[in-house]
Structure 1
Amino acid sequence: MKKIIVTTVIFLSLFFTSSCENELDLSNPNAVTVDQYWKTESDAQVGVNSIYAMFYKEGLWARWIYLRLDITSDEGFSKSPWTELADWTRFNYINYNFGPGNADTWRDTYKAIFRCNQVLANVPNISFQDEKSKKEVLAQAKFLRALHYYYAAILWENVPIVLTPSIPTDLPEQKNVTEVWAQIETDLNEAYIDLPTEWPSAETGRPDKGAAKAMLAKVYMQQHKWQSAKVALEYLISGAGAKYSLVPNYRDNFTDLNENNRESVFEIQFGNQRNGPADESQSAAVSSQRAQFFAPRSIGWSDGQARFWLVDAFKKEKNKDGGLDIRLRYTLFYPDLLADFGDKTYNKTWQWEANEAWFRKGSRDYYRDNEDYYSQVNYRLIRYADILLRYAEVLNETGNTAGAYQYVDMVRARANIGTLAVAHPEIGNDKAKFLEQLKMERVLELAGESVRWEDLKRWGDLDTQTAVAKIALRDPDFKNFVVGKNQRLPIPQVEVDNNPNLSQHPEY
């Protein structure tokens, strides 16, 4: 798909329509209307491809969503001279319409959902030579709608559920997050039925049954539906979808050299073949701006950087040979990287202060000395190491702590780290102690991979002042965190003002 979707996208923004008085209706002879489109199988394929194009928009996975998922969490922070941008990582929300902090991500989320709804509403009426292909198009739209609603639920919680193509006069009703989760479950379960177990190589990057089960597991876990999550994860670990494994080289998950490998469950396909803006033009970029956004000073903007406690966390436990955890080398840039690993592959002209660190995953220091807005490195949204650690978590939550050890050990073994039982005998069969260690295992394996915010929410670490105070010891921005408020974002105020069926979260 990296060679297919990013070069064949047609953007469907022309299909926002509204009813007008007849005398005000104007026709543009050069514009394609809804009635003229959605006639052929090719229309359907291009329509579903347009949903994937939303990954390349700045409000989503091209740039700004990482501000919310990585930098707002205790793994990251911002010292950006753009004060309002940095304030949105410090829980100082003043202008709820601020684009990079809030409104752009809301806008692009619902734009993506609109494209999904276009496909789901119109493709059933199109004749296909092969009914299986038709079902796969619809299943992709359901998967992608579920994915975007998942992050809407993580970020804002109570949001409108829109399941049909929108028109400007629509005033969708706000739903409780429990209803949002239920809709996501429905979409994913239906998508699973018709998604293939594996796509042909020319279609690499589209979600398969394993991706649907992985997303289902994430949804169930956020709701503490542990048994349902366990069943979903078992499909990938020991069931019909058990085709995944950890790649030997940890860094292969973060460069463009070994993409879509056996560890990848679902990854966003980026390319650098078009260096236009992140808009709807034919020259629109299909790349990631994350590396430019997170790069050290003199190499990129450094608008977001890593908390130094992560470096210390990696150094607490040595590997079997008495050396440092190799994952540190490829997770973070920090002043002692060269001394610790003899790593001469990064640009040493960067500028740093004592005890500063930056996220390295997705950087291109392995072949260039600076970043730009056009990184081609795919983003591994879900990988098998995450699945193994999640399975350990659900086993622990369902009373099988002893059985959970082996899945943590599989992840530790790749880093040449000893078994959990030998390294931490104090855990034993204690559920609470196991979870506390698992929290650290997820940091060491997944830091900077956009899962920390949902982890903190799932564990209840944002629910009490005592828990938040512990986070504030390693991330002082959490001294501003208000329990019962900042676990979710304010809804963009312009949306509330324009829709009487939408209410601002009462704590805002």
Structure 2
Amino acid sequence: MKYRTKYLTICLLAMGAFTGCQQDFIELSDPNRVFSGNYINDAASLKSALTADYNTLQPIYNGPYQAFGDVVSDNSTGQIGAPSYNVLDTFTYDSTNGTFAVIWNASYKSIAQSNLVIGKGAAIAMDETLKNRYIAEAKFIRAQNYFNLVQLFGDIPLVATSIEDYHDSYNFGRRPVAEIYAQIEKDLNEAAAVLPASYSSSDLGRVTSGAANALLGKVYLTEKKYNEALTALNKVTGYSLLSDFNSVFSTTNEMNNEIIFAVRYNRVLQAAPLPNIGSSFGIQMLPDNVTMAGSKGAKNNTEMPEWASLYSTGDKRAAISVAFSAGGLTTPYYCAKFIDAQATSATNAENDWIVLRYADVLLMKAEVLNELNRTSEALAPYNEVRQRANVSTLLVPPTQSDFRTAVETERRLELCLEGHRWFDLVRTGRALVVMDAHFAANTGTGKYYATKPVIQSKHLLFPIPFTEIQTNPKLLPNNPGY
């Protein structure tokens, strides 16, 4: 299922919430009210609203998400490219940084659209099985957004119903992290119980029960609920690692058997006034002496020099994960996973953003088993990933501590620049020590940083955007240190 952006966006001022709808259906009789999806009154309109919900994920992963997943970590840098990424890379930002507002607003727009589908769908007279499936898909999307937000910002507003009057948005302040996670767990458990394990080819890309359980497993892992995480991850069946690592990311092999959930993009040009719906993260990862669709790389998310020595000889992941660009660049390495040779423009490529894939699930399972003191069992999923990469496997269980490090390293190599590294470091409590060592190793004459950046405990959460606090003072106080 490739999404089509044939929907207008109406923003809710304080929360950035919106609804997607076909233009002919919009009727606003009260200028102080936000259109709430009154057109959603039958099976066809509910399906259209759900399609719009999937569409809302595109701007999130097409832009700011990779800054938080990788640029703020030791994986990559945005210092050469986007100015707003520069200060993220060195932890010298404040709440006025536009990247925070972009991901906040885009995520709450997506949540608002999910709320419409869930709220309006319940009252529609239609096939119950199909209706419940549509609602379950929207619950997954809502949970995915809240999971991103709670990891980035901590206590955040929890909006689980549609808001029709913009004045009502000022009633929402920040809720404790525990409440956010409770809502995420509820949405994913309910979705997993309803969603099918697979779809026909025409619906590839819709959320499956496997996707709901995989995300639920990651949520539980983040909360350190290891038994619950293992239960959820064990329910992710029917997927397998592809024998060829490179083919996982091929634009001619999308939604292959390793992909559990991906945000989908399409390079097909649309006629004005509709916007094109291709991806742009490929060009953002390239240095400026590498081109895609005739355009120079944007240098927004290029790999740090240390990547040159991270992969062992013979590792089949190395070539596509760490490509080299000659030319005397400060960061001559880049990730080639998302290059589309057939892109119609640098910002209109075919590549999907892979949110969950089976290798991620295997490594999460290895991490969970190790934390449950079942390290000998954890070797199997860990070795499965290593075997596909053509690198040595572990035959004898190491200590629990050593295996933690092994899994952390393997996730970095396997999931290079797929948006996981920062969240992994925070989840495992390793962000401060890893980043401090990274800055120390890359600071000095002839190295990347002239002055060593400083990371503090406050940086484990990002500030609530200044623009949102201006609009809604109930979001105060900001996170400590901001």
TM-score calculated relative to the size of structure 1: 0.83
Map 1:369-388 to 2 at 5 A.
372-388=346-362
Shift in alpha-carbon separation, 1:79–1:168, aligned structure 2, 3 A:
same
Shift in alpha-carbon separation, 1:37–1:506, aligned structure 2, 3 A:
same
Tell me, yes or no, if structure 1 residue 106 matches structure 2 residue 104.
yes
For residue 344 of structure 1, what is the aligned residue in structure 2?
none
Tell me, yes or no, if structure 1 residue 310 matches structure 2 residue 307.
yes
The 8 Å contact of residues 10 and 49 in structure 1, kept in 2 or not, is answered as no
Alignment deviations for residues 328-356 of structure 1 (CA, whole Å, 9 cap, x no partner): 10112214xxxxxxxxxxxxxx7442662
- Partners of 2:361 and 2:226 lie apart in 1 by 14
Alignment deviations for residues 75-114 of structure 1 (CA, whole Å, 9 cap, x no partner): 01123354343112221113x2332x21111110100011
For residue 164 of structure 1, what is the aligned residue in structure 2?
161
For residue 206 of structure 2, what is the aligned residue in structure 1?
206
Given residue 110 of structure 1, which amino acid in structure 2 is its aligned partner? Y
- Partners of 1:149 and 1:379 lie apart in 2 by 18
For residue 322 of structure 2, what is the aligned residue in structure 1?
332
For residue 266 of structure 1, what is the aligned residue in structure 2?
261
For residue 460 of structure 1, what is the aligned residue in structure 2?
429
For residue 408 of structure 1, what is the aligned residue in structure 2?
382
The 8 Å contact of residues 255 and 378 in structure 1, kept in 2 or not, is answered as no
Residue of structure 2 aligned with 1:498, choices 451, 471, 475? 471
- Partners of 1:482 and 1:35 lie apart in 2 by 44
Residue of structure 2 aligned with 1:48, choices 29, 47, 50? 50
Given residue 126 of structure 1, which amino acid in structure 2 is its aligned partner? I
Tell me, yes or no, if structure 1 residue 141 matches structure 2 residue 113.
no
The 8 Å contact of residues 296 and 351 in structure 1, kept in 2 or not, is answered as no
Q: How large is the Cα RMSD of the aligned pairs? A: 2.6
Shift in alpha-carbon separation, 1:420–1:106, aligned structure 2, 3 A:
same
Tell me, yes or no, if structure 1 residue 295 matches structure 2 residue 286.
yes
For residue 224 of structure 1, what is the aligned residue in structure 2?
224
- Partners of 1:459 and 1:63 lie apart in 2 by 26
Please, which runs of 5 or more residues in structure 2 have no aligned partner? Answer: 19-26, 292-296, 444-448
- Partners of 1:36 and 1:303 lie apart in 2 by 41
- Partners of 2:455 and 2:149 lie apart in 1 by 20
Q: Say which SS state the counterpart of residue 125 (structure 1) adopts.
A: coil
The 8 Å contact of residues 274 and 283 in structure 1, kept in 2 or not, is answered as no
The 8 Å contact of residues 325 and 415 in structure 1, kept in 2 or not, is answered as yes
The 8 Å contact of residues 297 and 352 in structure 1, kept in 2 or not, is answered as no
The 8 Å contact of residues 47 and 119 in structure 1, kept in 2 or not, is answered as yes
Q: Say which SS state the counterpart of residue 395 (structure 1) adopts.
A: helix
Between the two proteins, the alignment pairs up a number of residues equal to 453
Given residue 472 of structure 1, which amino acid in structure 2 is its aligned partner? F
- Partners of 1:92 and 1:35 lie apart in 2 by 41
Q: Say which SS state the counterpart of residue 88 (structure 1) adopts.
A: helix
The 8 Å contact of residues 74 and 471 in structure 1, kept in 2 or not, is answered as yes
Alignment deviations for residues 250-294 of structure 1 (CA, whole Å, 9 cap, x no partner): 011212011111111111111011368xxxx85122221101111
Deviation at residue 414 of structure 1 after TM alignment: 1.1
The 8 Å contact of residues 78 and 305 in structure 1, kept in 2 or not, is answered as yes
Shift in alpha-carbon separation, 1:14–1:435, aligned structure 2, 3 A:
closer
- Partners of 1:285 and 1:153 lie apart in 2 by 30
Q: Say which SS state the counterpart of residue 207 (structure 1) adopts.
A: coil
Alignment deviations for residues 14-63 of structure 1 (CA, whole Å, 9 cap, x no partner): 8979xxxxxxx97499x995475121111100011111111222xx1112
- Partners of 1:273 and 1:54 lie apart in 2 by 18
Given residue 405 of structure 1, which amino acid in structure 2 is its aligned partner? L
Please, which runs of 5 or more residues in structure 1 have no aligned partner? Answer: 18-24, 237-241, 319-323, 336-349
For residue 192 of structure 1, what is the aligned residue in structure 2?
192
For residue 21 of structure 1, what is the aligned residue in structure 2?
none
Once the two structures are aligned, what percentage of the paired residues are identical? 28
The 8 Å contact of residues 364 and 371 in structure 1, kept in 2 or not, is answered as no
- Partners of 1:64 and 1:35 lie apart in 2 by 28
Deviation at residue 122 of structure 1 after TM alignment: 0.9
Tell me, yes or no, if structure 1 residue 64 matches structure 2 residue 82.
no
Deviation at residue 364 of structure 1 after TM alignment: 2.3
- Partners of 1:390 and 1:180 lie apart in 2 by 22
The 8 Å contact of residues 80 and 299 in structure 2, kept in 1 or not, is answered as yes
- Partners of 2:57 and 2:40 lie apart in 1 by 23
Tell me, yes or no, if structure 1 residue 470 matches structure 2 residue 470.
no
Tell me, yes or no, if structure 1 residue 487 matches structure 2 residue 453.
no
Q: Say which SS state the counterpart of residue 89 (structure 1) adopts.
A: helix
For residue 364 of structure 1, what is the aligned residue in structure 2?
340
- Partners of 1:43 and 1:187 lie apart in 2 by 22
Given residue 54 of structure 1, which amino acid in structure 2 is its aligned partner? T
- Partners of 2:409 and 2:417 lie apart in 1 by 13
Deviation at residue 9 of structure 1 after TM alignment: 4.4
Shift in alpha-carbon separation, 1:80–1:8, aligned structure 2, 3 A:
closer
Given residue 436 of structure 1, which amino acid in structure 2 is its aligned partner? T
Shift in alpha-carbon separation, 1:79–1:33, aligned structure 2, 3 A:
closer
Tell me, yes or no, if structure 1 residue 398 matches structure 2 residue 372.
yes
Q: Say which SS state the counterpart of residue 450 (structure 1) adopts.
A: coil
Residue of structure 1 aligned with 2:402, choices 421, 433, 438? 433
- Partners of 1:112 and 1:106 lie apart in 2 by 10
Given residue 330 of structure 1, which amino acid in structure 2 is its aligned partner? I
- Partners of 1:399 and 1:430 lie apart in 2 by 10
